Amino acid sequence: MSVKWIQSLLGNKPSAESLQQGSVEKTLREKIEKTNGVDVPHEVLTQEAAEHYAALEGLKAAGSGSDKRERLKKKVRKKVWDVVTQDFDIEDEQVIEEITERMCEFAESDPDCAKMFEE
């Protein structure tokens, strides 16, 4: 068998086995084309891809709330820090954090207040 394989490589003559394999592949291809066959692996992978995409979108939607809150918190902290340091001479981090938390809670519940921090 290996001798035939080497001869087929050197002589560039197709061996009987390769011809037979090619004809088998051709008949399978023709059979699928005639029956309007469904590509089962493609269908399964398409369904799995849709499920994974839906799961990823769910994770993205769940995570976007915390990202949104963090962005709001940064904006609120900056404005609170500016106001507190200019007007009250308070430089205690805990006081500023407490004010920031309260303002974030208020901004989350009141859209008009949230607009004030979007600028």
Spatial separation of the C-alpha atoms in residues 104 and 117, rounded to whole Å? 10
| Residue 11 placed within a domain | no
**Beta-carbon contacts of residue 1 (< 8 Å; ≥ 6 apart):** none
Instruction: Indicate whether 4 belongs to any domain.
Output: no
Q: Is 5 domain-assigned?
A: no
Domain count of the chain? 1
Instruction: Label residue 119 by pLDDT band (50, 70, 90).
Output: low
pLDDT number for residue 13: 54
Q: Give a yes or no: residue 7 inside a domain.
A: no
Domain enclosing residue 83, as ranges:
16-118
* Digit-coded pLDDT (tens) for 65-112: 677 778 888 888 888 888 877 777 676 778 888 888 888 888 888 888
62-76 per-position pLDDT tens digit: 776 677 778 888 888
Which residue did the predictor score with more confidence, 114 or 37?
Answer: 114
Residue 109 pLDDT:
84
